[in-house]
Every structure is written in structure tokens, then in C-alpha cells.
Chain A
Amino acid sequence: MSAATSLDGSDTDIALDGGGGPGCAWTEAVCTAAPTHFLTLPVPGGESSTALLCRRHWLASLAYRIEVTMEVHPVAFDDLVLDYGEL
């Protein structure tokens, strides 16, 4: 199961498709805020992808990786998030 499995654990939610919308790339709820921060994440095959997020969801994305993903998978933070910061 990926870390992206619905954040509320159940029930219906509406999610943004992170692929190319103009708004914040947060996928667990609709966020129409303008992106101010970025996350560069590894994708299988050695490539990477960069997600643009508002500050609030950028923080939540970083925290989720530390508090959930890294607890589940034995992986270093720097292998999970290649780069992050303000735009």
C-alpha cells in the first residue's frame, strides 16, 4: 500500500490529481491555493518528479513521510525526499 492511500483511512473524499493542475498538488483534499514550495520525489526507474504545493500541504507532506512512511519502511529521509524548499 502506498503512502498515498486515502488520508482519512475511509469514507469518501475528493482528491486533486497531482498531474498538472495549476493549484497545489495535495491529493487528499481539493486545495486551490497557489503553490509556494516544492518537493522532489524519486519515482521508480531512477527518475524524479517535482510536486508544487502550498506551504501548509508541503509541511503536511514532509511530516507524513517522517511520521508514517519512515515508520513503515526502513528508508532514509534523503532517499524519500530528494529535494524540498521554497519556490
Chain B
Amino acid sequence: MTKMTEAEQQAGAERAVRFGIHRRELRVLLAAERAGPGLPPYGTRVTPDDVDFESALTAAADFSWFAAVRLPDGRTARFTVSADAPEDEVGCEIDGRVQECIQAHTHLSRGPSAPVEAWWDWLQRSFVALGQHDEPWAGDGIEAQLERVERNIVYADTQTSAARRFADTGELEVWLTGVYAPSGLLPRVRRLDADAYAQSYGRAFTAEARAGDGPSLMSLGVSRQRDESEPTTVWYASYLDTTADPAQWFPADARIWQAVRIFADGGTVEAFDNDRCFDSGELAPYVRDGVAPIDADAWLVVEIAGVPGAQVFPAADVMLVAASDRDAAEISLEVGSIDGVLPLFALHDGFLRRWGPIVDPDAVVPEADLDRLEARVMQQIAETRG
């Protein structure tokens, strides 16, 4: 056996310290889940009982990993210690392969190291098994569609993502196209040439230009109802200013800030509301054709064929919510700041963790449980009235 260098000995000592700290962190986390208040994602098949602390004591003599998790698919995850990772972060390997910790909702990767609770959350979310539905109304087939019409049931799909999760405009366009496919409506995603735009339009953002009639792209709300032949336009007192800090694009307390909602029939736009968009024609000279990278500086332009106006936003901190509803007769794209929207999703997630069995169509709920819940809800209502 070769002798360890001093640096190796030091790294080993550092791992030994972290080994102990992270084991405690994980034990506390699991204890909170066993006893409450920590609630797992409803339907997860990864539980505290699947965590094995013992084998690390014998097998990880070099303190390279501190706990193992038996996964429902038969593989084994190990939480790993690295002296290189930030102090409060650990790694995760599944059958020896280094994993990336993916955040809920944004689908952004935290990379190969993250706090142990983020990994535990990721593992639990990765193995949620809810009932597979094979009812006659599910699916894309004609019979399923007819069954839905008869029963007054519609197909709905909502997807969320951070804009910067996609490497380029092509990837984002593919994602949107997938959500909107049943509607027959085609999204187009391109990148704004923000520098060229700022150079020719920059003077529009001086106080003088705003007071006068200098060229500028004003934020618009363009909408058309089913019974109207021409769209209605409203102007907002805000301009497209790509020189401003992208973090200031959304007002501080805004959740969903801009949105386009479209009603369509067989690929034909019947009505729409494109709120806080910009005039496509005015933008045209500054929009790059073809696929362009989405990096921290990118400003994106999203248009949907048949609808006037373009949604424009900085890619850096943006959350996208793309939805198809009413059997794809209605599609929408909502754009908000990640920091503004995530707390909303967290509330939503918390509700589902608490109310999972009630909203799960496959769960049988005894009347006695409903009696107990009804008493609780009535008490909550009374408490809201102070």
C-alpha cells in the first residue's frame, strides 16, 4: 500500500468531519418526515425506511459516502462526501454514476453537489408512482376524444420550465411545440439582437425621448374576441429596454407578469389575448433568424403563428408556464420571474402533500376521515374570520 501524501491525509480528515455532519443532517431530515412536520411528495416510493446508514460505517472506510438509499427500481443511491464541494453540500451517485440534482418546476440542474435535503427531495420526486389510468376517455385516439365529448371531460396539460434550462432557442421551441401540438398552433422562438436594438433604440429610453415621440417599443396588450374582426390594442407605459438590468424586468411583487392566451379550433386562431407583448414588425430588424444560444444575456422573442405581437423577455431569471386546456382548444404561455413564481408552486406542492389522498382519484378515503377533515376545514374557515 502506498503511503498517503499530506494533502491526501488532510482531505481524508476533512471528509471524516463532513461524514459525521451530513449523517446527522440526514437523520434529522428523516426524523422530521417520520414524525411530521416534514411531509414527502404524495405517492413517493422512497421512504426513510429505505435509507441505510449502517453499511457506510463498514464499507466507506475512506469516508467517501455516508448513507445509501435502496431505490424502488433496485438500484442503490449513495450520498457522497467531497472535500471540494461547498461545506453544506454533498454529492449523489446511483450505481456508481454521478448524478445532477434537478430542481422541481424550473428543471434547472444544481450540478453534482447540493444540500442533502435537496437530494432527498429529488430522489422522492423521481419515484412518485400514482395510478396509471386506462379509462376510455384517456389518450389521443378518436374514440377517447368522442368519449370525452360525451362525458364533458377535457384533456389538459401544464408544463413549467426555467427559460435558461434550454441550451438554445431551438430546444425551447421544441418544448413549446410539444405542449401546443394538439392545438395545431405553431410557436416560434428566436433571440433578440439586444446590442443592435439598444444601439438604434437606446436614445428612446432617455427621459426626453419618453416625453417626446422618439422611436421606442412600447409594451402592448393586443386582444381579439370571437365576435370581433379586428384586434383591440392597449398601450402600457413601459418600454423594451434591453440595457436595463434583466432582474428589474419584472416588478418586485409580480408573479406571472406577461402572458398570451389563445382560443383555437383545428389550428385556426379564434380569439386571443396577448398581454404585455411587443409589435412584431417593429422588432423584426432586431430579431436573429435561426437557432441562437440561450445564455445569461439572451433576450428571447416568442411568437405564435396567427397571433399578432411577440412576447419578449430576458432568459436569465424567467419561469415559463405553458399550458394546453379544453382538449387543446385553449393554449397559453405565462411568463414570470423564477423568484416570484417558485413560492407559489411551493404553496401548491405543500397543499398536495397534505391533501394527496383526497385529490388522488385512486385513493379510497373512509367517511370517518372526511368527517375529521370537514371539522378541520370548518375550524380553519372560522379562524380566517378571527
Q: Which residues of A are at the interface with B, using a C-beta cutoff of 8 A?
A: 1, 5-17, 19-22, 28-32, 55-57, 59-60, 62-64, 66-68, 70-72, 76-78
Contact = CB atoms under 8 A, between A and B. Distances in A.
Contacts of B135: 14, 30
B39 to A, nearest CB: 13
B237 interface: no
B374 A59 contact: yes
Nearest to B154: A17
B159 A20 contact: no
Nearest to B354: A67
5 contacts: A1-B341, A1-B344, A7-B351, A14-B154, A68-B351
B155 A10 contact: no
A28 B348 CA distance: 13
B373 interface: yes
Contact of A66 (B326, B336, B380): B380
- Interface of B, helix, strand, loop or mixed by DSSP: mixed
B158 A1 contact: no
A31 B358 CA distance: 12
Given A9-B160, A15-B325, A31-B361, A72 B347 contact: yes
B349 A64 contact: no
Nearest to B359: A60
Interface of B: 104-105, 133, 135, 137-138, 151-160, 255-256, 321, 323, 325-326, 334, 336, 341, 344-345, 347-352, 354-355, 358-359, 361, 365, 370, 373-374, 377, 380-381, 384-385
B152 A16 contact: yes
The listed residue with most B CB atoms (<10 A of its CB), out of A1, A13, A55, is: A1
A30 B152 contact: no
Contacts of A11: 157-159
A15 to B, nearest CB: 4
B381 A66 contact: yes
Contact of A15 (B154, B347, B374, B377): B154
A74 B321 CA distance: 23
A32 B136 CA distance: 13
A57 B373 CA distance: 11
B151 A64 contact: no
Contact of A1 (B334, B377, B381): B334
A57 B282 CA distance: 49
A29 B158 contact: no
Nearest to A31: B361
